[in-house]
Amino acid sequence: MEPTIKRFYGTLQVELERAKEDLKGVEESIKKIIGRDPNESPSIRPSLKRTVSVVETTFNRTIPAELEFNNRVRHFNSSRKDAKIARVEEERPSIKRRLGDPKTVFSRLSGPPRSSRKEEREGGDEDFGISKPAVPSQVTVTPREVPSRQQVLAAQGTDETSKARNRRMFGALLGTLQKFRQEETMLKGREEKRAQVEKKLEENAKREKEELKRERQELFQNRKRRQADIRNIELKM
């Protein structure tokens, strides 16, 4: 009986060692994927800690500065308001002087002052009493200049030269335009090729990410199975 028990115990011991080795291999594979030992509790990475500290420092610096800026803005707005009120108060007397005495109902009904009526009457008398001399109109006819034959030929020669120059400029512009179109077509083809390459790279990266995720899930499931096998063997022992 005892040899049988020893043999069974030895078999369990061998299975336990094999299960532990398998578990160790699975954990090593998981460590390569996630970058840490799966038995260790996940902690904040140093880069994340540094980012959090930088954010806290920036927040602590920004709040006092923002409060000081708001106080300065309020003080500036109040100063502008006071200055505007003072300027309006100073301009009121000048406005009153410019407008003159306020008109009442009686002043509007009585009409303009007598002095103005007298001046208008005197001015009217002067206009009616004095006759102004008439200015005779003169029309001057300018003789039309007729260009000579030499001037006409010279102008035609200049026109032909201008036309030839314009044709050359148009040809040069047309050639430049065609060159730009060719370059644009080449650039468009390059952009399309680059877009296709980038699309393929994105698809490959997405595929690799999905495969890595699936492999990670399979490894963690395999780890759970190995741990369950080890617990069962230990219970049998």
- The structural domains of the chain, with segments of one domain joined by +, span 47-101
CA distances from 171 to 11, 112, 160, 191 (A): 96, 77, 16, 30
Share of residues in the chain with pLDDT > 90 (%): 8
How far apart (Å, rounded) are the C-alpha atoms in residues 1 and 127? 156
Reported as a pLDDT band with limits 50, 70 and 90, residue 234 is: confident
CA distance 30 to 38: 7
Q: How confident is the model at residue 201 (pLDDT cuts 50, 70, 90)?
A: very high
The answer to whether residues 15 and 205 touch, using CB atoms and an 8 Å cutoff, is no
Q: What pLDDT sits at residue 144?
A: 65
The residue-averaged pLDDT of 78-100 equals 62
- pLDDT > 90? residue 206: yes
Which range has the top average pLDDT, 36-40, 48-52, 94-98, 198-202?
Answer: 198-202
Task: Report CA torsion sign: 50, 56, 60, 62.
Answer: positive
Between 61 and 227, name the one with better pLDDT. Answer: 227
